[in-house]
Structure 1
């Protein structure tokens, strides 16, 4: 057997088969391991899917729970809304009219009480009102904005005396005159029979410049000045203006203008000269004469001259008082208006402005005392004027000018020295004065007929010829200009001509 030959080919095949078997076994083992791994992954995926399914079921349950909660919330909101509506109806029923009116004095915010002086109930906030003359501290409805409640307003109170609304103001009240404005904002008001009272300003009057004589409405129950009332009765008789009339605009009154300038301009413009020589400047001028002769124009020219000729060029004021319209049927009212006029003058004069007070038709206001037939108003009006004129003595920028057609009817005390002591008669113009007046109006701007210009040689010569002819015809006292024949009580007859009716 040892000598038998070895089959190497068979042996090699066997080894190859064993190798392949080992590889197959290894491959089987790997496949089994992979299968086991996949099985584990499958089991893990199944468990994860089961968890997701459970979470989905939990989420569905939570969604259902939230839906139920939402439905309950909606039901609760509906119930709350119905309850609020019911409460609102009950509140409206509680605050149902009728309401009472009151005047609001002040609004108080809540604060800490002062120990030993006030309790907590006092400082919880609220408002002070006046109702039927009684001061009350009441509550403010929580539905109102307390910051929008202003003192002096009309408010509405319900049955529990709580402020539930603001009523529009009526604007009515007692009408009083301002006598003085106090530094703290209060006002001293003058009433009837020399009654005086101190009141507070309503918010509507805060910062308003109130002066003596202004009219305000007052709620006498709370002593509040509510608003200023613009009355026209004083303004109707008092024209406050800066005149634009100059002495150059006035013709035929040369001597009168010279006297006025001597009596007014020099003392006003050069007061130091008067003081140096111990002279007293006149406080008033009386212009008298026939109607329409230029008395008012002279007074306006005085005011204009004072402003134009002043060193600082300040404006002047001309207070034109319409005499007859100043009269009032109520006792003391005319005197009050005279005081207002002079207060206006003092106000302007204190500011450094020259002021001219011009009383037209003085005989209608300041007649001789005791001369009245059906009324004795002059017995109080004249003394009031005299008091005011004497009060002007301390002022350096005020002068009183009066004008009258009947100076004989004016009380002599008004015309005595120290008052209207400069008397100037403004008479009807003579022929020279009439020519001067016509020259003021017949200026180069007025067109002339060409034939008149050619005949006279120039426009200036034509105007001079026209003026001369007109004045000659106007002042001719022949039969052609006679208008009427008058017979006086003695039987003497007088012819009335055009020249007798010429005004300024």
Structure 2
């Protein structure tokens, strides 16, 4: 690059050349002028010349206007974006308003009930307000998929355009007769019956006589089957989870039940060969809480297992209809009898498939008591004949067994108990000492929390649990003054003292174990000592006996005697409590609430008038 000094010679004249020397310029000045102008131009363009730093660019004509235009363009683009968004929002809102306007201005649509389809002209027969009409159908409506009784929506021209569902409300009526798969005879009122159409969705299911159905009385269509809670809740689709192994102390009674009920189901050929008919029913009677209901459930479980074994299948199945006597009583005339008919009708339907059905009437005396014995009601005069008609009726009770349970068998009508109806009568006695141990083994097991010191002294958990069971039985069956329960006076003048062991039942033993568990929990919260101990079971025996003594004093002597199977030969005239937990007369409230001696604490080393003992075979040791 040439320096400014070397550029001092004048250049030749050039016509029209930009930057030519002025005619007035003196020789030698033109180079200096040209160098200064070139230098200022390079500095203005930000160039670095001869080591000088670049300076701020010099403003050229039009530069500021260009910047302003660019800023204006950016601003307009932003405004255009906001305007576009606003226009899109307004467009969506206008569409929404148009839809609402169209909806609000649409004429009301009516509904019709479908009856039949005509594919030739794509029309349907339907009921519109109870009138039968032939309507055109939209091509978008698949009329071949419509079912009788289904609703369809109509437009303003009465054209079917959309399929609906089935009506959910109507009148409950009972089916009296099935005419065919499309029609049934129903009873609307006691003196009125009607033929009605059957909705398409019910044809595959099938209707039976006695079914409660939902009917549209205006259109004459049966729409649905209503499961009546007064009957359907009696049916257990799954068998009860109770087996004979879960029942203790009733080995003899269980053996009788097996011979009576299960053998005819297991060996029907032998029964036919010997001309024997299976018994129609069994009556289980005896004191309350002794296992009558458990036996009935175990029968259903066993019959299901035997049925599965005969069929070669792994799945066991049976039906157990648990009927509580008082539940069937109804204030409306004829309703109780109808429910009895419904129960036996359902039992026959299910037994027709070869599945055993057990109808269990609990508290049978409440429903089928002796006719003429009612004080303010004579419902038994019609209910008992209804049951007899079902048992002795023309329709067979094949694969159906009736089991009744009662603790007042003396109140049941004798006609029900005669041979040929409830043939077999099994008395469920109170458990003996051995039976009580067997029952307790189902509730007080080695898996429960047990005191560590008790386990150590007994030599193991199983031995400790056995010791606790033996402790309960010793406390209950000891014929000592502290276990005297009541004194019974008879009309002949004789008196008898009963002990706690005379009122033992399976329910009482289960209650004792439950009380002992609660005492163990309270003891743990107070002392942080975990597990059952003899002190808990002994105190539980005392509390449970006191509770039953209260029941004895709260009932009349006659009622108490009948429930507890006393006074059969001699009428009971008085029942006086004798339990040791009752304070002597005259001590009043000073010794405890209600005149009772307050029970000792569970932390005491002895309870009653003797120490708590550990049972360990040959020796006994006092334990907490």
TM-score using structure 1 length: 0.68
Matched, 1:411 2:413: yes
Structure 1 residues 494, 375: closer, same or farther in 2, change over 3 A?
Answer: same
Deviation at 1:388, TM superposition (A): 1.6
2:298 to 292, 298, 301: 301
| 8 A contact 2:135–2:160 mirrored in 1 | no
Equivalent positions of 1:218-233 (< 5 A) are 218-233=215-230
Deviation at 1:260, TM superposition (A): 0.9
| 8 A contact 2:234–2:321 mirrored in 1 | no
Match of 1:315 in 2: 317
1:424 to 418, 423, 426: 426
Match of 1:257 in 2: 254
Structure 1 residues 341, 136: closer, same or farther in 2, change over 3 A?
Answer: closer
- Separation of aligned partners in 1, 2:135 and 2:464: 90
Match of 1:467 in 2: 469
Corresponding residue SS for 1:217: strand
Structure with more of its chain in helix, by fraction: 1
Matched, 1:285 2:261: no
Deviation at 1:104, TM superposition (A): 5.0
- Separation of aligned partners in 1, 2:235 and 2:349: 15
The range that moved more, 416-425 or 488-497, is 488-497
Structure 1 unaligned spans of 5+:
1-88, 112-123
| 8 A contact 2:445–2:462 mirrored in 1 | no
Match of 1:497 in 2: 499
- Separation of aligned partners in 2, 1:164 and 1:459: 77
Match of 1:30 in 2: none
Deviation at 1:293, TM superposition (A): 0.7
- Separation of aligned partners in 1, 2:275 and 2:134: 69
2:133 to 112, 117, 137: 137
Deviation at 1:188, TM superposition (A): 3.8
Deviation at 1:283, TM superposition (A): 1.1
- Separation of aligned partners in 1, 2:452 and 2:156: 92
The range that moved more, 440-449 or 373-382, is 440-449
Deviation at 1:197, TM superposition (A): 3.8
1:371 to 370, 373, 386: 373
- Separation of aligned partners in 2, 1:199 and 1:320: 34
- Separation of aligned partners in 1, 2:124 and 2:346: 44
The range that moved more, 167-176 or 416-425, is 167-176
Structure 1 residues 453, 356: closer, same or farther in 2, change over 3 A?
Answer: same
Corresponding residue SS for 2:190: helix
- Separation of aligned partners in 1, 2:170 and 2:462: 67
Corresponding residue SS for 1:342: helix
- Separation of aligned partners in 1, 2:180 and 2:327: 35
Match of 2:535 in 1: none
Matched, 1:193 2:195: no
RCO higher in structure (CA 8 A, sep ≥6): 1
Deviation at 1:500, TM superposition (A): 2.8
- Separation of aligned partners in 2, 1:307 and 1:102: 49
| 8 A contact 1:127–1:140 mirrored in 2 | no
Structure 1 residues 290, 240: closer, same or farther in 2, change over 3 A?
Answer: farther
Matched, 1:269 2:266: yes
- Separation of aligned partners in 2, 1:327 and 1:431: 39
- Separation of aligned partners in 2, 1:329 and 1:265: 38
- Separation of aligned partners in 2, 1:100 and 1:453: 80
Equivalent positions of 1:332-371 (< 5 A) are 332-371=334-373
Match of 1:234 in 2: 231
Match of 1:37 in 2: none
| 8 A contact 2:186–2:193 mirrored in 1 | yes
- Separation of aligned partners in 2, 1:450 and 1:109: 84
Deviation at 1:400, TM superposition (A): 0.6
- Separation of aligned partners in 2, 1:185 and 1:466: 68
| 8 A contact 1:392–1:398 mirrored in 2 | no
Match of 1:398 in 2: 400
Matched, 1:479 2:481: yes
Deviation at 1:430, TM superposition (A): 1.9
| 8 A contact 1:238–1:321 mirrored in 2 | no
Deviations 1:368-390 (A, max 9, x none): 12222222222221122112222
- Separation of aligned partners in 2, 1:168 and 1:355: 37
Match of 1:48 in 2: none
Match of 2:211 in 1: 214
Corresponding residue SS for 1:468: helix
Structure 1 residues 334, 130: closer, same or farther in 2, change over 3 A?
Answer: farther
Match of 2:445 in 1: 443
Provide the aligned length of Structure 1 versus Structure 2: 398
| 8 A contact 2:138–2:159 mirrored in 1 | no
Structure 1 residues 143, 259: closer, same or farther in 2, change over 3 A?
Answer: closer
- Separation of aligned partners in 2, 1:304 and 1:466: 31
Corresponding residue SS for 1:243: coil
Equivalent positions of 1:323-338 (< 5 A) are 323-338=325-340
The range that moved more, 299-308 or 149-158, is 149-158
| 8 A contact 2:431–2:504 mirrored in 1 | yes
- Separation of aligned partners in 2, 1:307 and 1:158: 57
| 8 A contact 2:174–2:210 mirrored in 1 | yes
Deviations 1:5-46 (A, max 9, x none): xxxxxxxxxxxxxxxxxxxxxxxxxxxxxxxxxxxxxxxxxx
